């Protein structure tokens, strides 16, 4: 029974569904506020930026990006229709003005033209990507020349490293990004959020 409950919780974190999914979407908003604000600070959004968030959930980061920076348009993408309903409601005035848009799709197959976005970011969603190589390749494709990516995640808790996540970063993600053509790749440690160790992986598309 415990295993089944944990599987249900994990599924709701990956792709919230129904009323329970609405609850988990709002829970994630509260849980991830610290790393969301840090990520937006690192993005340093400008008025002319075209911005895409992968795994936008209930739309909190999109709302903060539009309210706290001069950027004029942010697109949020998520696999969960439940999450996107919440995101559109949270950003209803921005959606009406055309400043925010929300798209349901898988990160492995982004429904956008090549060279569309100057900034792509993701907060605490990389764990749910089915294929790192396919997703990173898609990110590179939709980025403009001199565009950049920021991926935020946790790699430990309460002073204890998560070896599996750390190995995924060093042995998979970073080499994949380099292989796709990303430059200036770096990893930075960030603030702790609820005891979790926050890190970002950053890279630029220079062509």
At 30-57, the pLDDT tens digits run 578 899 999 999 999 999 999 999 999 9
Q: Using a pLDDT cut of 90, give the percent of the chain over it.
A: 82
SS3 label, residue 40: helix
Section 65-69 average pLDDT: 97
Fold adopted by 2-204:
Rossmann fold (3.40.50)
Domain locations along the chain: 2-204
Which residue is listed with tokens 């996540």?
165
Q: What is the pTM of this model?
A: 0.88
190's enclosing H/E stretch is strand 183-193
Closest to 153 measured CA to CA, from 114, 123, 176, 186: 123
């Amino acid at each position: 029974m415990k295993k089944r409950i944990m599987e249900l919780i994990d599924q709701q974190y990956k792709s919230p569904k129904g009323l329970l999914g609405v609850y988990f979407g709002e829970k994630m908003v509260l849980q991830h506020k610290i790393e969301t604000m840090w990520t937006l600070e690192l993005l340093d959004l400008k008025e002319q930026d075209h911005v895409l968030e992968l795994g936008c959930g209930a739309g909190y980061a999109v709302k903060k990006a539009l309210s706290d920076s001069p950027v004029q348009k942010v697109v949020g993408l998520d696999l969960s229709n439940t999450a996107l309903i919440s995101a559109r409601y949270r950003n209803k005035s921005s959606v009406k003005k055309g400043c925010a848009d929300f798209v349901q799709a898988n990160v492995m197959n982004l429904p956008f033209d090549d060279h569309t976005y100057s900034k792509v970011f993701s907060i605490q969603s990389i764990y749910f990507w089915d294929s790192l190589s396919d997703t990173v390749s898609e990110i590179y494709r939709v980025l403009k020349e001199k565009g950049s990516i920021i991926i935020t995640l946790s790699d430990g808790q309460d002073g204890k490293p998560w070896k599996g996540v750390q190995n995924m970063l060093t042995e998979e993600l970073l080499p994949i990004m380099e292989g796709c053509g990303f430059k200036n790749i770096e990893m930075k440690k960030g603030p702790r959020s609820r005891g979790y160790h926050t890190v970002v992986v950053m890279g630029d598309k220079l062509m």
